[in-house]
Every structure is written in structure tokens, then in C-alpha cells.
A and B are shown apart, each in its own frame.
Chain A
């Protein structure tokens, strides 16, 4: 009995040291206990989930790219342009269903092009997707002339602003997509192949996996997830704007790494990434909210940016450091 508890304790410690993001959530919640603004209300938790949902969906997609030893920095621009396209098509008289479908397809197309350049042409994933992101942002600026676009269409507005089974619909979509991609990665040969080729591309190729198609498909899914997130975001604010998602790609990629999906490839999973993105949002949300009556009034936005920058550098540096240590161990 005694031994069992001890073993259980060791087991928990092992899991916690592996899953640092859960520890971070615990620490953040403990810090927020001292704050005068109470985060532990249904309203706040719901608002937190609603703001985090688009990034979570993008995070699920990016996880696939990162597991395949790639990464996708064009997701922010894809997110902003799909919302803009959907709203512009609706404004030109297209039925909502078709407009949303075509806008989602635009993300898949970008994913397809990314896949072509990265997998077929073997360019470096992060730099070419950075370039794609800037290109798509340029297109978004060009078609909107730098102004936000909005629509009066009630059906489009309702996509993200209703409740399904007592939950905000946007959270519901996030959960559905999360479960779908989780099943895809866990129970299909495609998912297992992604892990295999992320772990060692050549070995995977020689063991008969169609590496090109698999990795290509992973990038298409990443792009599609980004455009779905963009439409949900546009529907939630009823606006499409070319400035949405400037920081998203780097923040989401970092969040995915926080969750434990490493740039080394082949490691990680959807749930871990979800936790990682959630931590990042919880962190930003708590910083917005944190105040102690009479001591700290409000954290200035510049300090918030500073802290987020420090967090990004620390997380990525730690990831690099652990990869380096692992290599030295071998």
C-alpha cells in the first residue's frame, strides 16, 4: 500500500516533469488567486476559451506540420485572408455556405502550394512559409486596400456567435476539429506515418512510406485549419482585417513547442499542443486581468509584450538546449 503511493507519486512527478505546460497552468492559477480580479468565474473561463479557440484550431494544424519536422509561418496570413475572402464573397451576393466553403478551400490551396515548395522542391519550411505569409498578407492588403471589411449578413455572423449544448459554438467547433485530428493522428496509418517521417525522413522513405504525399497532406491540413480559424474569427467579430494574425504564426508555433511538440520532429501530439496553446492564452489573459488593489493597478501593454518576448525566447532556447543534450547523450 505504502509502496504503491510512493510509486504513484514518482509516476506523477515523472509526468509533470515531462509535461511542463500543466505545471505552468497550475502556477498561473495560483498566482491569479492573489489577483483582485477573479478569473475563476464561468464568464472569464468561457471568454478565455472563446478567445483561445481560433489559435487552438491553428495550433492543431501546425502540430501536424511540426511533427513532420516542418513548421508553418504562413498560418497568420491565411487566417486573415480567409476571413476577408468569405466576407467579400458574401457581400458580392454569394450564398453563405458556398462563400465559407470557398474561403476554407483558399487555405487548402495555400497549404498545397506550401507543400509543393517544401516537400517536392525541398525548400526550407520555415523560411519559405515566412515568405508565403508575407505574400498572402500583401494580397490581403491589396484586395482590402488596407481597410477592414464587414458584412451585415446575419447567417454568417451566427456561425461563431451562437451556443451549442450550452457551450459557445466556436468552442464546440474547436473541440470537434481537435477530436477529428486527434483520431487522424492516433488511429490512422496517415497519422503514424507523419510521426515516422518526422522522426527520420530517410528511414521512413526506405520503409516504404510515401513520404512526399504524407508530408504534403500534412501541410494541406495545416492550411485548412488556419482558414477555418480565420472564418470563425471573422464571423465572431463580423469583420475581416488584413492586420489580423501578425503575431499568430510565431506565437502558435512557440505554443506548440511549449506543449511538448519539438522542432526535432516526430514528437508530440494534438492534446499536448492544445495544452500549450491554452497556456499561452491563459498567460496573456491573466496578464490583462492581473491587478492587486492598492499595489498593482494594471500591467502596461508594453510590459506584456516584453514578458511575451522573454517567454518565447526562453521556451525556444530550452527546446534547443534539450535537443542538444539529447544529441550529446547519444
Chain B
């Protein structure tokens, strides 16, 4: 009885594994097909450019978040970092010029990331739960500092005197009218981070640390340094995300970017990087980001309710986490 059932069961298991493994790709394809049938506007060049433009801030923050999650941790401080970096960078535009201000912003973001990592290492927080609470508290601190810095008021770029060619290029510049410049910046960082993750010792060590923290430590991997490095990468990428984010709006508020921690985690997990740590790559994150952007593009095309995406977002997040645990849970 059991002998006869085994091959069938084996095929079913294989099919199930295949579906689970390539769930995101299948979902993307289905989504594109369904939306293209319901809404012909979906398959136009304008919408294509629009979708690529939406790759903007989320793709950068999600790339940074990938390293945190692969390393077995989590970071809720993105809203705080985005707030502080964008406020300080914008306030420096008139005094030291555009590009130096951006450099300062990126350096600041990296520093804040290192600060997060250092606090986690110093307090001996080696689990996701503790990292979650501490980085949330850090986010509140950064947000409060940026509100104190600006007095709580938003920064209006229209009042700035210096010209802003780089910012404008980031927000609306494109190559040949189709490919946005921000998209190329994204591809550039994607390539660097991909090589870093796959080909360098540090990059591989991040995976080992996430897979089994204790074993990695016993195996001689400097886990404390790795923790600080992943938070530094996340801070760095978040700072770039912040610059892309404020380049697209004329008025930047200290409270913008409130959703980015949640959306980045969602993009990473939907892409198939495991929250249990150790598994995943930046390429998977690109898939996750694409799926989420496509999904919201479709919702906006189909429905007019402004709050429907909020519901879908939450549902996708819960589902993604659940599926991830079903797929990768130990045993």
C-alpha cells in the first residue's frame, strides 16, 4: 500500500516544492496576465516607465534589509534613518552644495547603522525579537532628533537657492525617455552588493552567521563585526533610498518614510529570503520588490479605494511570513 503510494506522493511533493520555490515568479506572471486582461492600460510604455520609477526608494531600502535578514536580524529603524538623513541633507543643500550634502547624508546613514549595530552588540542582543525592539526605539530617537533639528516643519525645496541638477535627474531624468536614471543607480548597487554577497569572505560570513549564530561564532567568524557590518550596509542603502525618496517630492517632511521598514521586510520575505536567516540573496529581493510594485500598480489600476492597498499589504505580509516558516522551519 505504502509502496504504491510513494511515487505519487514523491511527485506531489516535488511539484509542491517547485511551486513553493518559484511562488513569486508564478505570482508575478499570473498577476501580469490577469491585469493585462482586465486593464489594457497596464501594457503601455508609460505604465512600464511608471513601474520602473516606482522601483525607487523601496528597492534601495529592501536591498539593505536583505543583508540584515540574511544575517538573522531585523531592522525597524529605517523610518528614523530616512527622516534624519533627508532632513539633514536637505538643510545642507544651500550651504555646502548638492553633491557634498548627499555625501554627508550617506555618511550619516552609515553611521546611524553602525550605531544600531554597536548597541545591539554591546547589549548582547542576539535574537530578532530584541533587535526589533531596540531598532524601533532607535527609530523613535532618530525621528525625534530630526524633528528637533527642523522644529517639526517640513523642508520645501522650492525655497532653495542653489540649482539641483543631480536631484532632478534622480527624480525625473531618464535615458531615452523610457529608463529612469534612478533605475540605473539601482542596477549599479545591485551588482556591487551581489558580488559582495556571493564572492567575498565577509558576504559569505553573513550567510553563515544568519544560519547558525552559535556555530558561526565557534567556527571563528567574527559575528560581532558581521552584525555591525550588516547594520552599516542597511544604513548606507537606507540613506540612498532617502535621497531618492526626497528627490521625488518638492516638500520633504520628517515623518515621510514611515512605511519603509514594513515594506522592505515584506519585499525581502516575499522574494523568498528566509526570516530564519542564512538563506536568501539580493536577486530574490529584486523579485520581491517587483512583485510588490506590480501588485500595487495593479490595485491602483483596478480599484479606486485609497485604503485597499493597506489591507492587501498587511495580508501579503502575514501570508509571506507564514509561507516562509512553512517552507524553511527546522525539521
Contacts and interface: CB of A to CB of B under 8 A. Distances in A.
B53 interface: no
B124 A324 contact: yes
A317 B167 CA distance: 39
Interface in A275-321: 300, 302-303, 305-306, 308-313, 316-321
A24 interface: no
A107 to B, nearest CB: 17
A303 B119 CA distance: 21
A128 interface: yes
Given A127-B265, A320-B125, 5 more contacts: A126-B128, A127-B132, A137-B314, A138-B315, A308-B140
Contact of B148 (A303, A320, A324): A303
Contacts of A124: 128-129, 275-276, 321, 325
A149 interface: no
B144 to A, nearest CB: 4
A139 interface: yes
A316 B325 contact: no
Nearest to A122: B329
A124 to B, nearest CB: 7
Interface stretch (B7-15, B29-37, B304-312): B304-312
Given A127-B128, A128-B318, A134-B317, A254 B133 contact: yes
Interface of B: 74, 119, 122-126, 128-130, 132-134, 136-141, 143-145, 147-148, 152, 262, 265, 275-276, 305-308, 310-315, 317-318, 321-322, 325-326, 329
B321 A131 contact: yes
A126 B134 CA distance: 13
Chain A interface bracket (under 10, 10 to 19, 20 to 34, 35 or more): 35 or more
Contacts of A188: none
B140 to A, nearest CB: 3
A146 interface: yes
Contacts of A204: none
B138 A313 contact: yes
Classify the interface of chain A: helix, strand, loop or mixed: helix
Contacts of B262: 130, 134
B165 to A, nearest CB: 34
A209 interface: no
A132 interface: yes
B311 A138 contact: yes
A131 B320 CA distance: 10
Contacts of B141: 306, 309-310, 313
A309 B322 contact: no
The 10 A-B residue pairs whose C-beta atoms are closest, nearest first, are: A135-B314, A309-B140, A324-B124, A312-B137, A138-B310, A317-B123, A306-B144, A309-B141, A313-B137, A305-B144
Classify the interface of chain B: helix, strand, loop or mixed: helix
A320 B322 CA distance: 27
B87 to A, nearest CB: 12
A234 B276 CA distance: 38
Contacts of B306: 145-146
Interface string A91-129: 000000000000000000000000001000111111110
Contact of B311 (A142, A263, A305): A142
A141 B310 contact: yes
Contacts of A323: 124
A253 interface: yes
A145 B321 CA distance: 27
B307 A145 contact: yes
B82 to A, nearest CB: 16
Nearest to A312: B137
B38 to A, nearest CB: 21
Given A122-B329, A263-B130, A317 B125 contact: yes
Given A146-B307, A316-B134, A317-B134, A131 B317 contact: yes
Contacts of A25: none
Nearest to B325: A123
B11 to A, nearest CB: 25
Contacts of A305: 140, 143-144, 147
Given A306-B148, A317-B125, A312 B318 contact: no
A271 interface: no
Contacts of A126: 128-129, 132
B322 A263 contact: no
Nearest to B138: A313
Contacts of A159: none
A250 B261 CA distance: 15
Given A124-B275, A141-B307, A142-B308, A309 B138 contact: yes
A204 B239 CA distance: 46
Nearest to A308: B140
A230 B122 CA distance: 37
A130 B263 CA distance: 12
A222 to B, nearest CB: 16
A250 B77 CA distance: 13
